Amino acid sequence: MTPSGLYVPLITPFAPDGSVALDALERLAQDVLGAGASGVVALGTTGEPSSLSPAERSAVLDVLAGVCGSTGGQLIVGANDRATLNAVPASATAALTLVPPFVRPGDEGVVAHLSALAGASPVPLVIYHVPYRTAQPLTPGTVRRLAALPSVAGMKLAVGGIDADTIALLADPPDGFAILGGDDIVISPLLALGAQGGILASAHLATASFARLTRSWEPALGHRLARLSAALFAEPNPTVLKAVLHEQGRIPTADVRLPLLPAAKESMRAALDEAGRI
């Protein structure tokens, strides 16, 4: 299956005692799938996976696999190495796998690394390309080499804007390879250029509107959603998003785990105001 449409990378809600609020997580998944999302992402960066224990990560994955199994929603699982890929259920649509960060192995190293992971993965890979975080840019030619791998289904493209390489890639996309926008603020122009959907944390809010945008690009709607995304990303993700969801009564606390700190109330209010304008 080639991924397309809207995928919501779910937060990990925390209870007042600091544990993972699995019941709230289940409701969030049901909410976004019921509002038109194609699927959810478990253990993506929005879910603060590095702060979760192995038992917590397993519980999150079990809950979201259960919701997707009962609703027909697609499940993408954040997994960046062989050990985490081995934990991805075979029922998942794909694993979201980061271009190797920090070490800057070059294009050849990236292709070799992701080829090895794709060959070992129980599900296809969606490669997460976010060079302003990994410090490893990729040329369109390298992306096409990755797209040619039989176990690579697509890419979450988050290069921080619309650059010449993005335009070149979307002007001639590889066959059967999903290009999903990953920079929420510029998802509208990415869709206009030909992206097949998005993996968008902002879509915890106004989910139906984001789903509509991925199905049928509408400039005015895209502009309104971009303002919402800008407000939600005014502080490190998912701090503002969690504050808004807590204010709406959808999660029991706005808590995040270190190294993140809670968002300022002013940021939460600004995002709520934008959500009210959608």
Residue range 81-126, pLDDT digits in tens: 999 999 999 999 999 999 999 999 999 999 999 999 999 999 999 9
Residue 2 has pLDDT above 90, yes or no: no
Q: What is the mean pLDDT of residues 245-273?
A: 98
The single residue of 132, 156, 242, 265 carrying the catalytic annotation is 156
In this structure, the number of other CB atoms found within 10 A of the CB of residue 250 comes to 17
- In the chain, where the domains are located: 5-216
Share of residues in the chain with pLDDT > 90 (%): 99
CATH topology of domain 5-216: TIM Barrel (3.20.20)
Residue 276 has pLDDT above 90, yes or no: yes
| 265 carries an active-site annotation | no
Q: What does pTM read for this prediction? A: 0.97
The single residue of 7, 128, 132, 242 carrying the catalytic annotation is 128
| 132 carries an active-site annotation | no
Residue range 37-96, pLDDT digits in tens: 999 999 999 999 999 999 999 999 999 999 999 999 999 999 999 999 999 999 999 999
| pLDDT band with cut points at 50, 70 and 90 for residue 1 | confident
